[in-house]
């Protein structure tokens, strides 16, 4: 459409097929047109849009050997998502030693799993040329951090990132896993969509602090998963309260019960509260997650309870 034609149209003048101008549409006539569009035509447009958007989408294919996939996500970075993913994986194993657990880090730009799980080195290749996960604390782990130097930035455009995600999803020999916990990057972008559209996800866990700014993005994250038909299992309220180690006074640094209010808005439940505690941070930084290093602590028990709630909401593998 040429610039002059656009100006004419937006100025209230329509063009006839023959090129001549007609009188501007009257108010009542315009309202009739709008009503018609809001009826059958708008429904047709919606259906057409859905068909167009579905074109070219990859068909979901399960990861070989993996029974159930649990993604841990957040709308905003810095809310403790990776710490939650690591301790959730360890808690799932601790609650049921018969279960085999894997941990996949798809945060290409900022992988945290290698440090938190105290793992270094490159994956070995199987006879079928698939990468073998690195193992620690009984958890099989794979991360972009194993494929690049620790301090080397990943300066890639979208296509390269998508290629890396495809390799992490399809070129890893997990063996047989009951649960694969996936540590998502923050946000609602290409990686989240690619993972959701490529593999069947059993459920998503949304992590947020009680802070309003974090909750806004957590809300968007939950809605994104609903749009791509991924069940949201519930919210984890991280850094919910700080207790002074000397006087034992409790302070809600990031606000009180924000995640619970958001959960009510979304029709979900809070899976558990994790306090803001020095032990959790120190354990993560030293590569000895608190569920492993201090299993009897109150902080570790909070993760163990969350793991119970997650499993309770998962369908049985046969369903």
pLDDT of residue 145 exceeding 80: yes
Of 261, 300, 264, 319, nearest to 86 by C-alpha is 300
More confident residue, 10 or 110: 110
Q: What pLDDT digit, counting tens, does each position of 251-299 carry?
A: 888 878 888 889 899 999 999 999 999 999 999 999 999 999 999 999 9
Q: What pLDDT digit, counting tens, does each position of 75-128 carry?
A: 888 899 999 999 999 999 999 999 999 999 999 888 999 999 999 999 999 999
Rounded Cα–Cα distance for residues 1 and 306 (Å):
57
Question: Which are the contacts of 85, defined by CB distance < 8 A and separation ≥ 6?
Answer: 72, 103, 113, 181, 182, 183
What's the CA angle centered on 172, arms 169 and 177, to 5 degrees? 90
Domain regions of the chain by residue span: 66-313
Q: What pLDDT digit, counting tens, does each position of 307-318 carry?
A: 999 999 998 765
Rounded Cα–Cα distance for residues 75 and 57 (Å):
23
CATH fold label, 66-313: Rossmann fold (3.40.50)
């Amino acid at each position: 459409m040429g610039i002059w034609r656009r100006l004419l149209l937006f100025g209230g003048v329509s063009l006839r097929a023959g090129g001549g101008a007609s009188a501007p549409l009257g108010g009542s006539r315009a309202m009739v047109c709008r009503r018609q569009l809001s009826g059958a035509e708008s429904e047709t447009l919606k259906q057409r849009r859905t068909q167009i958007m579905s074109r070219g989408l990859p068909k979901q294919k399960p990861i070989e050997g993996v029974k159930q996939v649990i993604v841990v996500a957040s709308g905003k970075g810095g809310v403790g998502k990776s710490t939650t993913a690591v301790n959730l994986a360890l808690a799932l194993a601790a609650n049921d030693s018969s279960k085999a657990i894997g941990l996949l880090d798809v945060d290409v730009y900022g992988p945290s799993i290698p440090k938190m799980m105290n793992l270094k080195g490159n994956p070995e290749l199987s006879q079928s040329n698939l990468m073998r996960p690195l193992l620690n604390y009984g958890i099989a782990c794979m991360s972009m951090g194993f494929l690049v130097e620790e301090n080397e930035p990943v300066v890639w455009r979208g296509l390269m990132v998508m290629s890396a995600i495809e390799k992490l999803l399809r070129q890893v020999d997990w063996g047989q896993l009951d649960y694969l916990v996936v540590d998502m990057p923050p946000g609602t972008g290409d990686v989240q969509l690619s993972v959701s559209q490529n593999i069947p996800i059993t459920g998503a866990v949304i992590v947020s602090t009680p802070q309003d700014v974090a909750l806004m993005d957590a809300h968007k994250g939950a809605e994104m998963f609903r749009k791509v038909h991924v069940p949201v299992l519930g919210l984890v309220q991280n850094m919910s309260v700080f207790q002074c180690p000397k006087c034992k006074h409790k302070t809600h640094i990031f606000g009180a019960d924000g995640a619970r209010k958001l959960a009510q808005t979304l029709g979900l439940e809070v899976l558990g509260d994790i306090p803001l505690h020095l032990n959790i941070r120190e354990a993560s930084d030293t590569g000895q997650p608190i569920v492993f290093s201090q299993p009897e602590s109150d902080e570790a028990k909070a993760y163990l309870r969350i793991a119970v709630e997650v499993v309770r909401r998962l369908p049985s593998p046969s369903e």
